[in-house]
Chain A
């Protein structure tokens, strides 16, 4: 018996944004379409819209992050929300306060939305299950589980360049096992009906039953990217060498590092993506990262618009719910 999807209200509107699993194709398309609308805000003279005026957003980062934290902060500010960013990695929890206590204290300050980054899978679900009604939770990355705004900004970037997902071959290269980004991308690609999805990695960096993620498994980079329209490189954490998952960065780059030469088997107009930050010379060389097929910086810009779209949808649902309650 699957548990009810706690991300949605009883009319199927987005209340929390925790994972892309269990969200409909229509809803994902709606987020992508809404993102298109927000893309223009950054080019306005006054980079603000009043959709979340009077709302308070708290960024709770239990794990360090630069890109995700700042883009969430900018997204909230461009929606005219008041933003509070807490780097909790270095504060309360190190004093022994439980996650729930931290949450209760912030709730007492009447925050309307929590944006949460946490090192453990399931942390965003846990918080969503325990926040007061009327508060939304957006997952900004939980352990190895999910990073849904990253997944959606990648889909947005792919759609802008390639259009219809049904015709696309997408290759995801690297540490699938530990990657919340890959899990979100795979969930979105399944739901959006991507033509063919491949994952390319040594066995040590793949989860059990990888095909259940909806992808074909390759261990050879050249074979895996053959005729691909999109090549997504994942970040490799240095601790994988210590955990005996890989012999060395050198050998990893020799086998799975993306170079112009190895990209030759992909379609000529293939795009190259990376969630950042890049380890140059490990996942890919600089020629590719800075080359004409790289859309890596565009991903960052799109990230702001996607996060605006998701925040606006969740706040919209909350507004509807509180209005309905006022009518009762």
Chain B
């Protein structure tokens, strides 16, 4: 039985990672409950601690005990042989929709955290646009409790920045934080009234809460469903101009500067946004940003033939934008890469393109897509792992994302060379909506450990 790290409940200090309840049943082998475990012969990459080498990892009582030599007298209950594999901190995803509560026909906390574990993701932040919205402690606690019972991943709910995400009244942010919401977020809903935005950021800053914004001007976005450019011109799809993002970003950056709030921008999609972000950082404004992994791979050209699996929001933009996003991830201007996981039922994608629901199920393709960039020479492996671990951990302000002794033993062990086909045999998410369905991807998770417990094990 695992003695897990402290679990998040009402009243828990916010800097404690949300955990898994002790003694939670999981559908993994009995040996998974080993109290002492060693991962041997792997290439250990821990970007936050500057480690990249063939080092063993020793785990006891749910925590990292030692890196390298085992302490004298350490007798592991189980040894994982990671020869030829990479051992790294469990991945942290800043944006994954679990669809529960309210849209269980698309996904459940159990199904989607199982997908997370299969993808090597041990912590994820879910946006507040559930039904009901995460604007009361009860909803936040329902999510964290259900996630603890499922026992597959740490789920950090993002609290609604405004009541009902309506952009009118502030939410009870301090109370939401007490209930486990590490960050405040407006999901995809706009705050049209800039005074409300200013007050929300000021109030969040009072409590040192990070605000996550997805910059989008709703008027410029209008009914758009594709990047406004060459492809939308040919396909006759209503366009979303870059300005829909940059105008909102410019406003939010100025309000961040005015209020001193710590603001993180989600899912930037175009080169012009990156210029604005870099300029703001140069001015000393406390802002950070992430991109969705698929934005580093796909472009507007993938919409040809009206492929509704590529109906995404923000939209896939030009190859030049994609290249700029890649460079920003490499340089660290963008410090995290997310899955932006959005599982859907099959019907949601079975309609003419503009009527389909945007988004893709992406937890299980997050790591392989980043590894594709490593193979293409865009990123080195350490940087890729940093953007999936220490980068997002810093944004959440949680003591996760590295393997220093004493840390929760959240670990991802993957075979960077193993190929697998995206298909029903391996796929765990309830949503099969991915443009990569049927493709062979390289890089496969062998073991995922959550608090020292094996929560995913690749079948051989």
A binds B: yes
Residues of A within 8 A of B (CB): 2-3, 6, 21, 98-100, 118, 120-123, 125-126, 130, 142-146, 180, 183, 207-210, 212-213
Q: Is B304 located at the chain interface by the 8 A CB criterion?
A: yes
Known A121-B352, A208-B239; judge A126-B234 contact (CB<8 A): no
**B residues 208-237 in Cβ contact with A at 8 Å:** 228-230, 232-237
Q: Is B241 located at the chain interface by the 8 A CB criterion?
A: yes
- Find out whether the CB atom of B350 lies under 8 angstroms from the CB atom of A144: no
The complex places the Cα of A123 from the Cα of B232 at a distance, in Å, of 15
**B residues 312-353 in Cβ contact with A at 8 Å:** 347, 350-353
The complex places the Cα of A121 from the Cα of B232 at a distance, in Å, of 10
Q: Is B305 located at the chain interface by the 8 A CB criterion?
A: yes
Mark contacts of B255-297 with chain A using CB atoms, 8 A cut-off: 1 yes-contact digit, 0 otherwise: 0000000000000000000000000000000000000000000
Chain B's nearest CB lies how many Å from the CB of A240? Answer: 14
Q: Is B207 located at the chain interface by the 8 A CB criterion?
A: no
The complex places the Cα of A118 from the Cα of B354 at a distance, in Å, of 12
- Find out whether the CB atom of B237 lies under 8 angstroms from the CB atom of A144: yes
Chain B interface extent, by class: 20 to 34
* 13 sample A-B contacts, Cβ–Cβ < 8 Å, listed by A number: A3-B305, A6-B305, A21-B234, A120-B353, A121-B235, A121-B236, A122-B237, A126-B306, A143-B236, A143-B352, A208-B228, A208-B232, A209-B233
Q: Is B307 located at the chain interface by the 8 A CB criterion?
A: yes
Residues of B with C-beta under 8 A to A98: 347, 350-351
Chain B's nearest CB lies how many Å from the CB of A63? Answer: 12
Residues of A with C-beta under 8 A to B304: 2-3
Residues of B with C-beta under 8 A to A145: 235-237
Query: Which chain A residue shows the least CB distance to B302?
Result: A1
Residues of B with C-beta under 8 A to A210: 233
- Find out whether the CB atom of A121 lies under 8 angstroms from the CB atom of B306: yes
Q: Is B355 located at the chain interface by the 8 A CB criterion?
A: yes
Chain B's nearest CB lies how many Å from the CB of A79? Answer: 28
Residues of A with C-beta under 8 A to B236: 121, 142-146, 180, 183
Residues of A with C-beta under 8 A to B237: 121-122, 143-145
- Find out whether the CB atom of A212 lies under 8 angstroms from the CB atom of B234: yes
- Find out whether the CB atom of B234 lies under 8 angstroms from the CB atom of A183: yes
Residues of A with C-beta under 8 A to B232: 207-208
Residues of B with C-beta under 8 A to A146: 236
Residues of B within 8 A of A (CB): 228-230, 232-239, 241, 304-308, 347, 350-355
- Find out whether the CB atom of B305 lies under 8 angstroms from the CB atom of A209: no
Q: Which of A6, A99, A125, A207 contacts B233 (CB 8 A)?
A: A207
Residues of A with C-beta under 8 A to B353: 120-122, 126
> What are the 8 tightest A-B residue pairs by CB atom distance, in nearest-first order?
A144-B236, A145-B236, A122-B306, A207-B233, A122-B353, A123-B352, A3-B305, A120-B352
- Find out whether the CB atom of B351 lies under 8 angstroms from the CB atom of A212: no
Known A98-B347, A126-B352; judge A208-B235 contact (CB<8 A): no
Query: Which chain A residue shows the least CB distance to B303?
Result: A122
- Find out whether the CB atom of A213 lies under 8 angstroms from the CB atom of B351: no
Query: Which chain A residue shows the least CB distance to B355?
Result: A120
Query: Which chain B residue shows the least CB distance to A143?
Result: B236
The complex places the Cα of A58 from the Cα of B237 at a distance, in Å, of 26
Residues of B with C-beta under 8 A to A125: 305-306, 352
Of A143, A180, A208, A213, most B-chain CB atoms within 10 Å: A208
Chain B's nearest CB lies how many Å from the CB of A143? Answer: 6
Residues of A with C-beta under 8 A to B239: 207-208
The complex places the Cα of A210 from the Cα of B239 at a distance, in Å, of 13
Residues of A with C-beta under 8 A to B347: 98, 100
Chain A's nearest CB lies how many Å from the CB of B27? Answer: 35
The complex places the Cα of A125 from the Cα of B237 at a distance, in Å, of 13
Chain A's nearest CB lies how many Å from the CB of B458? Answer: 29
- Find out whether the CB atom of A212 lies under 8 angstroms from the CB atom of B230: yes
The complex places the Cα of A100 from the Cα of B351 at a distance, in Å, of 7
Extra inter-chain contacts (5) besides given A144-B236, A212-B234, CB under 8 Å? A6-B305, A121-B306, A183-B236, A208-B239, A213-B233
Residues of A with C-beta under 8 A to B354: 120-122, 143
The complex places the Cα of A326 from the Cα of B85 at a distance, in Å, of 54
Q: Which of B230, B238, B308, B351 contacts A209 (CB 8 A)?
A: B230
